[in-house]
Amino acid sequence: MPSILITGANRGLGLEFAKQYSEDGWRVYGCCRDPEKADDLKTLADGSSGLITLHRVSIGDHASIESLADELKGHPIDILLNNAGTYGYVDFPDNGIEVQSFGKMDYESWSFVLAINTMAPLKMSEALIDNILASDQKKIFTISSTIGSIQDCEGMHYAYGSSKAAVNFLMASMAKDLRDQGVTVMPLHPGWVETGMGGETAPVQPEDSIAGLKKVMDNASLETSGQFIGFDGATIPW
Ligand SMILES: NC(=O)c1ccc[n+]([C@@H]2O[C@H](COP(=O)([O-])OP(=O)(O)OC[C@H]3O[C@@H](n4cnc5c(N)ncnc54)[C@H](OP(=O)(O)O)[C@@H]3O)[C@@H](O)[C@H]2O)c1
């Protein structure tokens, strides 16, 4: 039975990934920072005949990531999916869109966004590499965003955009560094999706985004490793 580990599995895109992969019969390690409060994921797990289990990890805390790796020692993981992410600036109005712009930058919050969106996917990959190497599929994906595309950027979003551009660099570099060990690595764009982050006016529904991304993830191979791909299968400019 193939297996997937999903960060941020308690809501939004992560929850939909857990739903669709478990419906396909995958073993799902559903990770979140507060399993006690993850009611929707618990309900999904209760109806999954044991396919979904909940695991605590606070991805901004490297000791917490290492504890998760200890807990999962010896369990092969076909797909590591770094999904959890933040626009950041939780203490500011409108998620702090104002303080992610030229002349108004809040640098302390920026370093928090980098810790969650950029450093955590690398740390998760390092901590769980033995699990990935022990699996059949050996794949690592990170949910990035076109907001991190340098070619397509429209200004603003300095913290979020730079964190996604930087994680794209890491995924492209890891694709090269892990190729000889047979590991496929890709940053992915989910579309603008109606979630807590995407907001109510987003044009794409989570079920459609994840159905598309699952096809992309299924087709991903060493030949396409290192590319930046959207939920519709299109290649996204760096
Ligand atoms: N929705 C979109 O339109 C869109 C577009 C492009 C890219 N993305 C990316 O897609 C991914 C999933 O986002 P979403 O749309 O599902 O957003 P969401 O509904 O806001 O969910 C975000 C998830 O990330 C977790 N998370 C946030 N901050 C965290 C932190 N500091 N430590 C640990 N976990 C944290 C949340 O956990 P808690 O519940 O504990 O906060 C939650 O599980 C993100 O990487 C995001 O950047 C989304």
User: Which atom of ligand 1 lies at the shortest distance from residue 204's CA?
Assistant: 3
- For residue 180, the CA-to-ligand 1 centroid distance in Å is 31
**Dihedral of the CA atoms 43, 48, 54, 60 (nearest 10)?**
-90
Closest CA to 194 of 13, 2, 1: 13
User: Which atom of ligand 1 lies at the shortest distance from residue 112's CA?
Assistant: 31
pTM of the model: 0.98
Phi and psi at 31, nearest 5°, equal -105, 140
**Dihedral of the CA atoms 218, 194, 125, 47 (nearest 10)?**
-70
Report which protein residue has its CA nearest ligand 1's atom 34: 84
pLDDT band at residue 11 under the 50/70/90 scheme: very high
**Dihedral of the CA atoms 114, 116, 122, 124 (nearest 10)?**
170
Ligand 1 is surrounded, with C-beta below 6 A, by 8, 10-14, 32-34, 58-60, 83-86, 116, 143, 145, 190, 192-193, 195-198, 202
Closest CA to 123 of 79, 188, 67: 67
User: Which atom of ligand 1 lies at the shortest distance from residue 160's CA?
Assistant: 47
**Cβ atoms of 77 and 128 closer than 8 Å:** yes
* CB-side neighbour CA atoms (13 Å) of 7: 28
- Mean pLDDT along residues 114-118: 98
Q: Which domains does the chain possess?
A: 3-230 (3.40.50.720)
Q: Is the pLDDT of residue 93 over 80?
A: no
Report which protein residue has its CA nearest ligand 1's atom 43: 8
pLDDT at 90: 65
Tokens of 87: 């626009």
Supply the DSSP symbol for 81.
Answer: E
Cβ atoms < 10 Å from Cβ of 128: 21
**Cβ atoms of 84 and 120 closer than 8 Å:** yes
pLDDT in tens, 157-175: 999 999 999 999 999 999 9
